[in-house]
Amino acid sequence: MSNMDQTKLPEMLTFLENVSEENEDTDYDTSDEHLVNDIIALVKEQGHTSIIEDFNQPFLHPMITVQKWVAELKQIVREEIGKKSPLY
């Protein structure tokens, strides 16, 4: 995640944790759209082709893809935090 603001990673992880807790009941808040876009940018940058293919479905809302892949997305964001954090 070369050009992404590091402060966004914890916010992305919190968002994904909330999505996984709520499952299909997640209401899409347009204020979360920037986080969804950041998540899409991260998986594209890292080359997660299966997830990217789902995000590229024109008739599928991005939140459906986030919900489908939430466990994998949380792992991707955690690994990215681990790479950037001096504590790891």
Q: What is the pLDDT of residues 8-57, one digit of tens each?
A: 999 999 999 999 887 655 566 788 899 999 999 999 999 999 999 999 99
Burial 37-64 (b: 16+ CB within 10 A, else e): ebbbebbeeeebeebeebbeeeeeebbb
Per the structure block, which two tokens stand in for 81? 């935090």
Per the structure block, which two tokens stand in for 2? 């070369």
The span from the CA of 11 to the CA of 52, in Å, is 21
What is the reported pLDDT for 26? 56
Q: How confident is the model at residue 1 (pLDDT cuts 50, 70, 90)?
A: very low
